[in-house]
Amino acid sequence: GAVVSQHPSRVICKSGTSVKIECRSLDFQATTMFWYRQFPKKSLMLMATSNEGSKATYEQGVEKDKFLINHASLTLSTLTVTSAHPEDSSFYICSARFPSGDTQYFGPGTRLTVL
């Protein structure tokens, strides 16, 4: 299957700092990427849909100024958690939609811990 990388896999930061997470589709071009967040014992919660060359579409309740998404190329989307606070500590995972639209391929996720 296709490969999606995510970096970093784990990050620990101080409260108030910003953290950038990268999601790359390594062997295909993805016009659409998705960012999810997983709370303990919960399902993957969609945060936003990232479309190459246009503004991301955020789900209800997700602050767009807090979670900045940039999809500047067909192989890279970034999520920046701005002014992170302990409640932002979570597991963030991205996926990229294959051009045929049938399947999404996931990155391995990023564990963010805000102290």
> Smallest distance, Å, CB 15 to other proteins?
26
Residues with Cβ within 8 Å of residue 77, at least 6 apart in sequence: 22, 23, 30, 33, 35, 50, 69, 70, 71, 94, 96
Q: What string marks each residue from 53 to 92 as x (binds other proteins by CB under 8 A) or -? A: ----------------------------------------
Q: Does 46 bind other proteins (CB under 8 A)?
A: yes
Binding status of residue 108 toward other proteins by CB under 8 A? yes
User: Which listed residue (49, 70, 80, 82) binds other proteins by CB under 8 A?
Assistant: 49
Residue type, position 110, single letter: T
User: What residue ranges bind other proteins (CB under 8 A)?
Assistant: 1, 4, 34, 36, 41-44, 46, 49, 93, 95, 101-109
